[in-house]
């Protein structure tokens, strides 16, 4: 019998309670029952947890988890809060939908709504190409400056966004600069001369071939870029006099542009984004700094 080997439990002389036999530096642990309030709280939590399992999704099952009597999920909660946001936006959207650009510009509330919506849509759809701050990069225009290839009024920006540039849309903005060198339209000598001439338009010093370059320019380039090189928006032909370069202003870069030509492509957003979002984006891009007044639309003098 093992019990017979054991000493009888020691009793604390002061309280008369048995000790557990645990002792630290002379302090002995008494074998008191857990306090009643503690036991009660413990039992309540057990009952609570049983209720919780029934009401909320809790137990893993082979097909996922128990659904819970109330069918609560975080997704449903998210949906509800999104529906709430939508409802609040709808009040603005209803007004925005019917408003002309002119009305939007004159209504501070609608304007703010458009810029905020445009800002969010820009980060989602445009920043990949134009950069988060819309500063662009080689081949992707900076949208912060007031240098516009296709036009900077709200209507023109809207059309650019809606139809795209050299996109698959039937109404796309379209134009193509010939690859003067590659396609043999000009000799390499002509391309060199006209490259140097183009560089003088934004301040570079004249080369001995200046006269020749000027003639080549007048005969081959002025039709699209204008006699003075100020660009023509009908053709999406950039201004060559402003030292803002879509494809780089180093001599080698300009030579390459003239020799091989570029054809930047931007997708059409009609059909991908709803009309309200495209309008919000137009207002946002216009607000970035370089937006132009709608009327009268002034084409730069050729």
Give the binding site for ligand HEC (CB under 6 A). Answer: 122, 125-126, 128-130, 139-141, 143, 148-150, 157, 160-161, 165, 175, 177, 180, 194, 198, 220-221, 223-225, 235-238, 240, 245-247, 254, 257-258, 262-267, 269, 281, 285
Shorter beta-carbon distance to ligand HEC: residue 31 or 276: 276
Radius of gyration of the chain (CA): 37
Q: Are 177 and 254 in contact (CB under 8 A)?
A: no
Shorter beta-carbon distance to ligand HEC: residue 56 or 140: 140
Shorter beta-carbon distance to ligand HEC: residue 92 or 247: 247
Q: How far is the CB of 296 from ligand HEC (least distance, A)?
A: 18
Q: How far is the CB of 96 from ligand HEC (least distance, A)?
A: 17
Tokens 């999104």 belong to 82
Q: How far is the CB of 165 from ligand HEC (least distance, A)?
A: 4
Distance of alpha carbon 127 from its chain centroid, rounded?
Answer: 5
- Alpha carbon of 210 to those of 178, 191, 216, 232: distances in Å? 22, 12, 10, 23
Q: How far is the CB of 294 from ligand HEC (least distance, A)?
A: 15
Shorter beta-carbon distance to ligand HEC: residue 30 or 244: 244
Q: Are 28 and 22 in contact (CB under 8 A)?
A: yes
Q: How far is the CB of 85 from ligand HEC (least distance, A)?
A: 22
Residue closest to ligand HEC (Cβ): 264
Pairwise CA distance, residues 212 & 195, whole Å: 11
- The CA angle 289-271-275, to the nearest 5 degrees, is 50
Shorter beta-carbon distance to ligand HEC: residue 104 or 240: 240
Pairwise CA distance, residues 214 & 196, whole Å: 9
């Amino acid at each position: 019998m093992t019990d017979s080997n054991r000493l009888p439990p020691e009793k604390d002389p002061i309280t008369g309670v048995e000790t557990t036999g645990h002792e630290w530096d002379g302090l002995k642990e008494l074998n008191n029952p857990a306090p009643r309030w503690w036991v009660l709280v413990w039992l309540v939590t057990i009952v609570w947890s049983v209720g919780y399992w029934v009401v909320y999704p809790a137990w893993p099952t082979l097909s996922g988890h128990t659904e819970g009597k109330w069918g609560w999920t975080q997704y449903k909660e998210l949906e509800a809060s999104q529906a709430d946001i939508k409802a609040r936006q709808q009040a603005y959207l209803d007004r925005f939908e019917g408003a002309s650009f002119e009305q939007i510009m004159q209504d501070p509330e609608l304007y703010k709504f458009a810029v905020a919506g445009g800002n969010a849509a820009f980060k989602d759809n445009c920043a990949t190409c134009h950069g988060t701050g819309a500063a662009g990069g080689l081949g992707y225009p900076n949208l912060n400056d007031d240098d516009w290839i296709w036009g900077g009024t709200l209507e023109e920006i809207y059309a650019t966004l809606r139809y795209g540039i050299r996109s698959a849309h039937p109404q796309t903005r379209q134009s193509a600069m010939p690859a003067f060198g590659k396609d043999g339209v000009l000799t390499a000598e002509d391309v060199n001369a006209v490259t140097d001439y183009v560089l003088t338009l934004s301040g570079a010093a004249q080369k001995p071939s200046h006269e020749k370059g000027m003639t080549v320019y007048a005969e081959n380039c002025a039709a699209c870029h204008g006699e003075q090189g100020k660009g023509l928006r009908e053709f999406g032909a950039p201004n060559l006099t402003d030292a803002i370069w879509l494809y780089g202003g180093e001599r080698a870069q300009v030579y390459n542009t003239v020799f091989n030509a570029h054809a930047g492509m931007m997708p059409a957003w009609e059909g991908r984004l709803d009309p309200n979002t495209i309008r919000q984006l137009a207002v946002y891009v216009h607000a970035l700094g370089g937006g132009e007044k709608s009327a009268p639309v002034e084409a730069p003098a050729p």
